[in-house]
């Protein structure tokens, strides 16, 4: 068992309609995360959510690039970019949090991907790995030091978030039953390997024990 402390954080990544079955970029079996995520949301003292928040015509959308299809890869000024179906467009139903998500104690929401010319998977940095979202400063100001990550998708936004968290010096665990992956050309297996190499702990929600009182 692993003890969850009062100043530990539950980081809930992109639990939005477009990543669920029927959405524009559905993660297979993504709806299976709702129960464990909600249960954890009621137990953690601190919780932050992220929200993909793209303007229409975002550079990561295949529709922006003539002759390109979703899941093709191109080079952009900040590096390699997988092209996605249009998803999580600002103000649309797809960008809203899934109605089955029920976490009453969310303290802040980090919106990302709103710059039309750069994608942002991570909760900490845009995909240039330099432009911060402000989350690191927020956590340090509040004295929150250990992160438990859940959400979608394990091999993209969760992966980038936890790797950046490790680079910023945080202890990090991914709750396995609280994530699901897209698995583009083996990306899910590669993601778990990268997380392990970075020192990210992999566990299940049943492995956690909470302080009483």
Catalytic residue numbers?
14, 112, 157
Smallest Cα–Cα separation from 190: which of 177, 181, 201, 199? 181
The number of residues making up the chain comes to 213
Gyration radius of the chain over CA positions: 16
Beta strand pairing call for 8-13 and 46-52: parallel
The Cα–Cα gap between 131 and 80 comes to: 17
Question: Hey, what are 53's tokens?
Answer: 């928040």
177-182-188-194 Cα dihedral, nearest 10 degrees: -90
């Amino acid at each position: 068992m692993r003890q969850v402390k009062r100043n530990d954080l539950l980081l809930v990544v992109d639990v939005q309609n477009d990543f669920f079955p029927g959405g524009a970029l559905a993660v297979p079996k993504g709806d299976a995360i709702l129960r464990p995520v909600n249960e954890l949301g009621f137990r953690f003292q601190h919780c932050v959510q992220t929200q993909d928040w793209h303007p229409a015509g975002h550079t990561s959308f295949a529709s922006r690039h003539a002759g390109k299809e979703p899941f093709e890869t191109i080079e952009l000024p900040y590096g390699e970019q997988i092209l996605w179906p249009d998803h999580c467009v600002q103000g649309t139903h797809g960008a809203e949090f899934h109605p089955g998500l029920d976490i009453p104690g969310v303290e802040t929401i980090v919106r990302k991907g709103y710059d039309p010319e750069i994608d942002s998977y991570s909760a900490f940095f845009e995909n240039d790995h330099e432009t911060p979202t402000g989350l690191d400063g927020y956590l340090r100001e509040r004295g929150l030091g250990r992160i438990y990550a859940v959400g979608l998708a394990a091999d993209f936004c969760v992966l980038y978030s936890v790797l950046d968290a490790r680079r910023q010096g945080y202890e990090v665990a991914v709750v396995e039953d609280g994530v699901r992956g897209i698995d583009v050309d083996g990306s899910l297996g590669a993601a778990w390997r990268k997380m392990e190499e970075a020192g990210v702990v992999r566990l299940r929600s049943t492995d956690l024990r909470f302080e009483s009182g």
